[in-house]
Structure 1
C-alpha cells in the first residue's frame, strides 16, 4: 500500500478513535486503523491484540524513502510507556546501541563526553571535500574539518573535540531557529536541504486540519508549542550491521484528550545522522485499550526515512537491505518497549 504519511495517519487515528469514544465495540476502530493504514491482515491484527509485536513494510512513491509500521498491545497504562521513552538512555542501551545520552537544557559539550568518532570516520574526515565525503556534513562542518592539523599526533583528539562542539552548536541553532538551522548536506552530489526534505515528508499527505498541533509543531518549532507538550534532545551512536552512526534527535511528547482514545502522540525527529538516512521521523501513537481502559493500551508506530543512496544500478538492492534492517529494528523496539513498560 501507499505509505499513509505522518499527518494522515494521525488524522485517521484521531477521527476513528474520536468517533468511537464512549461507544461499545471500541476495538473495531483500532482494527480499522491497523488494516486501513498499516495494511495488517486480520490474523496480524489478532496477533497484535494478543500482545504479539507486528512490524510491516509500507510502500511509498518517493524513491529515496522507506517506510515501516508496527503495533503491539501493552498490558500497562500509556503513561508507563511515556516514562520508558523519557528514560531514553535505558531504552536505547545494549545490542546495536554503542552509546546514548540525553542532552542537558541547554545542551553543553560535556553531554557528549562519551562520544568518540569511529576510526573510519576520522579517516574519512581527513580527505573530505564538498561533494566528496563519506560522512554527512554541511558546508560549515566541511570547512571546520579542513581546519584540523591532520599531520599532528593529536589529529584524532582534535576530530573528537570538533564533532562534539559542532554537534552542540548545531543543536543550539535548531533550538533557537527551528528547521532553518538544520543542515544542508554537501557530502555527495547535489546539496540536500534537511529542512526542505522534512517539510515535504510531513506535508505529503492531507489531514493537517484534523490534528494540527502535532504537524504544526514539527514544522514550526520552536514556535507553535502546544500546551502540555514535553520535549527533549539526545544523541546516540549505534551500529546495526553497517557503519556506526551518530544521530541527534528531538523527541516531543504530546498528551491527547483522554476522551479521544489516543492518550499520547510521541514524535522523534532526526536532526542529524552521520551516515545513510539524511531525514527521518518516527511517530508513536499510544491508544487506550477500550476493553481495559486506563490499564492497557496499544502502541502504533510509523517510521519514515529518506536516503540519497537508493539510486543507481544497485539502489534497489541497497534499499531492500535497508528496509529489512529497519523492519528488524522496529520489531526489536516493539519487544523492548513492551517488556520495559510492563515490568516498570
Structure 2
C-alpha cells in the first residue's frame, strides 16, 4: 500500500491525510469512502457539489459514538493546513462554539479572560458533592469551588467563573508538565472515571495508526515522555453547545508533518483533556486531500467515549445531535476557510 493510500485508510479508521498528485489522491479518497465508509453514489455526488456528508461508523462498544464527516472546500491544501494551525480562529463565531480562546505558549490566567461559566453549571456547583455532581470534576476541585465562592453574593457567576478559570489553568499546566498521569479522574458519579484511561481506550481502537505512523501513535501515547520531530502542539479552551448542556472543554491539538513530507501531508489530532459534561474522553482527527483545481476534501473523524453506556432512545438522540453538530461545524469551517482565502487573494 502506498504512503498516500495508507494515510487515507488511517483517516477512515482513526487518522488521516491524503497527498498529491490530486487525481490519485481524489481517486484514493473516493474509493475508500465508498468501500470503507459506506458512501453511496448520492453521497459522493453531494460532496462534489460542496455539500457536507456525515456518517456514523460502528463504535467499539456501547460507551462510544464515532462520527465521520467530509466536505469539499474551495481552497488549496497548503492554505487549509496553515489556517488549521489556528483552528480556534477557524471555528470561532460558528454555530457550535459559544466561547473559545487559545492559550499562550506559557499559559496564563489572562488567556481565559473571555471565559464565563454556563449558568446551569454555576447552580450545579453550589450543591456538588463527590458521587453527586452535575459537573465533571475531581473531588478536590469540587471542594475548591465551593469553598472559594461566596454563594450569598449577587456575583456568584463571576466568582465561580474565576475559580474555574484558575482550576482549568492549573490542570492544563500539570498536564503540560506530566502528561497523561496528570489527567483528571472525575468524581461526579458513584464510579470514578479516568480521562487518561478513556483516551488510551480510544487510541487502542486505531491500530492502523500504530501500523503506518507508529511515531505519532507513540507520541500521543507518551506525551511529555518523548519528543516527535515535525510535531507542533498548542492548547485551547471552548464552551460548545451541541443541543444539550453547554460543555466546557480543554483541548490539546497536535499537528504532525512527517520529515520531508509536503505541507499537505500534515496530520491534525485534537485530544480532549477536559469536558464538563457527558464525555470521559474524545479524540478528533482532521485531514486534507487535494481534490484538484484548487479544492480540497476536508475529513473529520471524531471518537467520543461517554461517561456511561448509551443505548436505545438516548443513543439515538446523542447520535442525531452529534451528527448535526458535525455537519454544522464542517459547514462553518468550509465557509470560514473560503471567505478568508477570497479575502486574502483580494488583498493581494
Aligned to 2:125: 125
1:58 corresponds in structure 2 to: 57
Match 1:225 to one of 193, 213, 227 = 227
TM (norm. structure 1) is 0.86
RCO higher in 1 or 2 (8 Å CA, sep ≥ 6)?
2
Alpha-carbon distance between aligned partners in 2 of 1:302 and 1:23, rounded to the nearest angstrom: 21
Q: In the TM superposition, what is the alpha-carbon distance from 1:175 to its structure 2 partner? A: 0.6
Tell me what 1:46 maps to. Answer: 45
Where do 5+ consecutive residues of structure 2 fail to align? Answer: 1-6, 342-348
Aligned to 1:244: 246
Q: Please tell me whether residue 339 in structure 1 is matched to residue 335 in structure 2.
A: yes
* Cα pair 2:78 2:263 within 8 Å, conserved: no
- Provide the rounded CA distance (Å) in 1 between the counterparts of 2:17 and 2:105: 37
8 Å contact from structure 1 (residues 238, 244) kept in 2: yes
Cα distance change, pair 166–256 in 1 and its aligned pair in 2 (3 A) = same
Distance 1:203 1:219 in 2: 9
**Paired residues for 1:21-32 under 5 Å:** 25-32=24-31
Report how many aligned residue pairs link the two structures: 331
1:104 shift after superposition: 1.2
> Structure 1 residues 206 and 125, CA, compared in 2 at 3 Å: closer, same or farther?
same
Q: Is 1:187 the equivalent of 2:188?
A: yes
Match of 2:211 among 209, 212, 215: 209
Counterpart in 2 of 1:166? 167
Please point out which of 320, 326, 341 is paired with 1:330.
326
State the Cα RMSD in Å.
2.8
* Mean CA deviation greater in 90-99 or 181-190: 90-99
After superposition, the Cα gap between the structure-2 partners of 1:209 and 1:96, relative to the gap in structure 1 and judged at 3 Å, is: closer
Aligned runs of 1:1-344 on 2, under 5 Å?
A: 9-10=10-11, 25-85=24-84, 86-148=86-148, 150-153=150-153, 155-207=156-208, 208-256=210-258, 263-289=265-291, 291-292=292-293, 295-311=294-310, 315-343=311-339, 344=341
Counterpart of 2:148 in 1: which secondary structure? coil
TM-score (norm 2): 0.85
Q: Is the 8 A contact 1:231 1:250 kept in 2?
A: yes
